[in-house]
Structure 1
Amino acid sequence: MGTVGINFGAATSGQGFDVASTVTAILASQQAIETPWQNQLTSLQAQDTVLSTLGSDLSSLTTSLQSLTDFSGVMSQMQGSSSNNNVLELTSASSSAIAGSHTIVVNSLAQTSSEYSDAIANASDTLSGSLTINGNTITVGSSSNTLSTLASAINQASIGVTANVITDASGSRLSLVSTSSGAAGQISLSSSLTDSTTSSAVNFYTGQAGQDASLSVDGVAVTSASNTVTNAIPGVTVQLLSASASSPVQVEITNDDSAVTTAMQSFVTAYNAVVTTINGQEKNDSSGNAEPLFGSPTLATLQNQLTSALLGGAASGSISSINQLGVEFNQDGTLTLNTDTLNSVLTSNYSDVVGFLQNSKSFGQTFSTTLNNLGTASNTSLIYLAQQQNSSEEATLNQNISNEQALLATEQTNLTTELNTANQVMQSIPSQLNEVNEMYSAVTGYNTGNGG
Structure 2
Amino acid sequence: MTTTTSSSNDTAALIRQATQSIISGATRSSIDVDTLVSALVTAKTAGQSDMLGRKQSADNVELSAVGKIQAVLASLQSALRGFTDGTALNTLTATMSGNGLKATAATDAAPGTYSIAVNHLASANKISSQAFARDERLGAGTLTVGVGGRTMQIDVDAGSSLASLAKAINAATGNPGVSAAIVTASDGQHLVLTSKQTGAASAITISAGGGANTKLNTSSFRQITAGKDASLSIDGNTVSSASNTIEGALTGITLVLTGEAVGTTQTLSVTRDTAVSTKAITDFVAAYNGYIATEKSLTWDASQPVASRAGPLLGDAMTHAITNRLGSLMSGGVAVGGRTYSLSSVGIDLQHDGTLSVNTAKLQKALTEDSAAIPALFNPTNGVAVKLNTFIGTYTRPSGTLEQRTRALNADLGKVTNDMTQLKRYQDTLTAQYNAQFRALNVLMTTMQNNTRYLNQLFGGAGAAGTLNRR
Q: TM-score w.r.t. structure 1 length?
A: 0.81
Which residues of 2 match residues 106-121 of structure 1 at below 5 A?
A: 106-117=118-129
Cα distance in 2 for partners of 1:167, 1:448 equals 135
Instruction: Report deviation, 1:367.
Output: 2.1
Between Structure 1 and Structure 2, the one with more helix by share is 2
Aligned letter for 2:68?
T
Q: Do the aligned residues in 1 keep the contact of 2:116 with 2:267 (CA within 8 Å)?
A: yes
Correspondence 1:68 to 2:83: yes
Residue of structure 1 in register with 2:240 after alignment: 223
Q: Percent identity?
A: 26
Q: Do the aligned residues in 2 keep the contact of 1:108 with 1:243 (CA within 8 Å)?
A: no
* Per-residue CA distance 1:394-435 (angstroms, 9 max, x = gap): 456555545544433332221111111111222333555577
Residue of structure 2 in register with 1:199 after alignment: none
Residue of structure 2 in register with 1:141 after alignment: 157
Residue of structure 2 in register with 1:361 after alignment: 382
Residue of structure 1 in register with 2:31 after alignment: 17
Aligned letter for 1:32?
A
Aligned letter for 2:44?
Q
Q: Do the aligned residues in 2 keep the contact of 1:12 with 1:426 (CA within 8 Å)?
A: no
Residue of structure 1 in register with 2:344 after alignment: 323
* Per-residue CA distance 1:122-171 (angstroms, 9 max, x = gap): 5xx2332586644877574245x233311022232625421123568997
Q: Do the aligned residues in 2 keep the contact of 1:112 with 1:177 (CA within 8 Å)?
A: yes
Q: Do the aligned residues in 2 keep the contact of 1:319 with 1:353 (CA within 8 Å)?
A: no
Aligned letter for 1:164?
A
Any idea what SS the aligned residue of 1:6 has?
helix
Residue of structure 2 in register with 1:78 after alignment: 92
Deviates more, 1:237-246 or 1:133-142: 133-142
Q: Do the aligned residues in 2 keep the contact of 1:74 with 1:256 (CA within 8 Å)?
A: no
Instruction: Report deviation, 1:274.
Output: 0.8
Change (3 A) 1:138 1:56: closer
Which residues of 2 match residues 62-211 of structure 1 at below 5 A?
A: 62-70=77-85, 72-86=86-100, 88-90=101-103, 92-117=104-129, 125-128=135-138, 133-134=145-146, 140-142=156-158, 145-155=160-170, 156=172, 158-166=175-183, 173-189=190-206, 204-211=221-228
- Select 2:311's aligned residue among 291, 310, 317: 291
Cα distance in 1 for partners of 2:115, 2:468 equals 132
Residue of structure 1 in register with 2:60 after alignment: 45
- Select 1:57's aligned residue among 72, 84, 90: 72
Correspondence 1:309 to 2:326: no
Cα distance in 2 for partners of 1:390, 1:138 equals 70
Residue of structure 2 in register with 1:200 after alignment: none
Residue of structure 1 in register with 2:257 after alignment: 240
Cα distance in 2 for partners of 1:429, 1:303 equals 74
Deviates more, 1:206-215 or 1:77-86: 77-86
Cα distance in 2 for partners of 1:11, 1:279 equals 61
Residue of structure 2 in register with 1:264 after alignment: 281
Q: Do the aligned residues in 2 keep the contact of 1:313 with 1:364 (CA within 8 Å)?
A: no
Cα distance in 2 for partners of 1:413, 1:6 equals 21
Cα distance in 2 for partners of 1:319, 1:121 equals 84
* Per-residue CA distance 1:25-46 (angstroms, 9 max, x = gap): 1122223313244224312321
Q: Do the aligned residues in 1 keep the contact of 2:137 with 2:158 (CA within 8 Å)?
A: no
Cα distance in 1 for partners of 2:438, 2:270 equals 92
Q: Do the aligned residues in 1 keep the contact of 2:195 with 2:202 (CA within 8 Å)?
A: yes
Any idea what SS the aligned residue of 1:306 has?
helix
Q: Do the aligned residues in 2 keep the contact of 1:116 with 1:173 (CA within 8 Å)?
A: yes
Any idea what SS the aligned residue of 2:307 has?
coil
Q: Do the aligned residues in 1 keep the contact of 2:346 with 2:373 (CA within 8 Å)?
A: no
Q: Do the aligned residues in 2 keep the contact of 1:109 with 1:241 (CA within 8 Å)?
A: yes
Cα distance in 1 for partners of 2:183, 2:348 equals 63
Change (3 A) 1:194 1:308: same
Residue of structure 1 in register with 2:354 after alignment: 333
Instruction: Report deviation, 1:228.
Output: 0.8
Cα distance in 1 for partners of 2:407, 2:154 equals 74
Q: Do the aligned residues in 2 keep the contact of 1:12 with 1:429 (CA within 8 Å)?
A: no
Matched residue count? 433
Cα distance in 1 for partners of 2:178, 2:235 equals 36
- Unaligned segments of structure 2, at least 5 residues: 1-10
Cα distance in 2 for partners of 1:65, 1:77 equals 15
Correspondence 1:408 to 2:427: yes
Instruction: Report deviation, 1:263.
Output: 1.9
Aligned letter for 1:368?
N
Instruction: Report deviation, 1:216.
Output: 1.4
Aligned letter for 2:69?
L
Aligned letter for 2:390?
T
Cα distance in 2 for partners of 1:146, 1:339 equals 73
